[in-house]
Structure 1
Amino acid sequence: MSDTRVRQRLTREDRYTQLVEVAWQIIRDEGTEALTLGHLAECAGVTKPVVYDHFISRSGLLAALYREYDQRQNQKMDEVISRTDATPEKLAAVIATAYIDCVLLQGREMPSVLAALAGTPELEKIRREYAVDFIGKCRTLFAPFCTHPLRDAALWAMLGSAEGLAWAVVQGAITDVQAKDELCAVIIGMVHTA
């Protein structure tokens, strides 16, 4: 019996999406250590050059996964913000909840991706981009409620508080509710002192 399936050629964008989905599946099923470009090609049913064309290196693939995760979380946050009354308290609650929940929802996959990227230039670049984007989003959201422009140092302090509170939740030192409430208070304090 002959195989009558016709292989469909994917667009570059569709192939990229397929490779990212397969990469996440490999991480879930086999762990981050198993994620190599060759293994990804094999699991996705493509040749190695196709995978290398999209990601160049394993670090590039891991960075792409980090960015993809970050984009999904930002999209979710933006959707909630668009449905929220524009008050400092409600917007601060959305930001605090989204930030802490994002860390809690990372599951096993994101920490292992971050660990695999540790020490690479890609990770530092991504972290800086994320920080600048997050601070920019907060500056834009809260500027209308401030008497004076928000200071860069205050925005960085708010981000540091968010990171520290999220770490404390992951370590079990405080609850997610405590972290969200405290981060919300930090944001409101930042807005009221500007």
Structure 2
Amino acid sequence: MSSTESTNLPSQSSPRQRLSRQARHRQLLDVSWRLIRDEGTEALTLGRLAEQSGVTKPVVYDHFGTRPGLLAALFMEFDARQTAIMDAALERAAHSLIDVAKTIASSYVDCVLTQGREIPGIIAALKGSPELEKIKHDFEAIFIEKCRGLLDAFSGVEGVSSAGLWGMLGAAEGLSNAAVGGDITPLQAKNELYEIIISMVQRSA
């Protein structure tokens, strides 16, 4: 579910709703995405989330434990959404280097754009905590290996280099953030990332 599908924030006079644990967790994540979009990542605290969700602080602490735990949950949800978008696009794509490269580039940029300004803020926050940095790195490593599996078939016997794949990921993040910020267009971000992927694979042939 994207942040644009969030539940409405309750007014402070609204009675608290009795929700299942799963439904409450979903509500808390939706409100978190909205808070980041409207006020920035720094505004997202467990206390503020409780207030805007119409629940007590212990409820929020029970779901996430700490603010880093909340940020980690948001990042993992983004990663799962990104994976689902890419997998669906790959199922529709032809099995050629051009199509695979276009799919990786487009799905990466599209997912960041869908989440808007929230993701750059969360990624920046992840860099401020060793615990969160490890979570981010672990998911990045999974993405790298996924791309390696997709692109090795078009490369030489040694496959695509790890250095090239990590460079591609850095470019993907930077280009997507530039598109979110309006410095370049989404199409420019996708096209540049596509060219980077093609060049990386061709160098390994």
* TM-score (normalizing by structure 1): 0.80
User: Following TM superposition, by how much is the alpha carbon of 1:144 offset from its aligned partner in structure 2, in angstroms?
Assistant: 2.6
Matching of residue 156 in structure 1 with residue 166 in structure 2: yes
Q: State the SS of the aligned residue for 2:55.
A: coil
* Structure 2 counterpart of 1:59: 68
- Contact 1:63–1:122 at 8 Å: present in 2 too? no
* Aligned match of 1:165: 175
Q: 1:189 aligned to 2:174?
A: no
Q: Distance in 2 between matches of 1:170 and 1:146?
A: 32
Shift of 1:9: 4.7
How many Å apart are 1:125 and its aligned residue? Answer: 1.7
Equivalent in 175, 180, 186 of residue 176 of structure 1: 186
CA contact (8 A) 2:37 2:116 kept: no
User: Is 1:20 matched with 2:33?
Assistant: no
| Contiguous gaps of at least 5 residues in structure 1 | none
Q: How far apart are the structure 1 equivalents of 2:181 and 2:54? A: 39
What is the CA deviation profile of residues 91-125 of structure 1, one whole-angstrom value per residue up to 9, with x for unaligned ones? Answer: 10011112233333332322333344441124312
**Structure 2 gap ranges (5+):** 1-14
Which 10-residue stretch deviates more, 156-165 or 76-85? 156-165
Following superposition, the deviation at residue 153 of structure 1 comes to 2.0
CA apart distance, 1:128? 0.7
Question: Residue in 1 aligned with 2:123?
Answer: 114
Alignment of 1:11-160 (within 5 A): 12-148=21-157, 149-160=159-170
Aligned-partner residue type, residue 176 of structure 1: P
Instruction: Please give the per-residue CA displacement for 1:64-93, whole angstroms capped at 9, x wherever unaligned.
Output: 112212221221121111111111110100
What percentage of aligned pairs have identical amino acids?
54
Amino acid at match of 2:58: P
Q: Which amino acid aligns with 1:94?
A: T
Decide whether the 8 Å contact of 2:117 with 2:180 is kept in 1: no
AA at the equivalent of 2:50: A
Contact persistence 2:126–2:133 (CA under 8 A): no
Q: Which amino acid aligns with 1:60?
A: G
Larger Rg: 1
Question: Bigger CA drift: 162-171 or 89-98?
Answer: 162-171
Q: What is the rounded CA distance, in whole Å, between the counterparts of 1:130 and 1:85 in structure 2?
A: 26
Matches of 1:73 and 1:23 in 2, distance apart?
A: 18
Q: Structure 1 CA distance, aligned partners of 2:46 and 2:178? A: 35
**How many Å separate the matches in 1 of 2:147 and 2:196?**
12
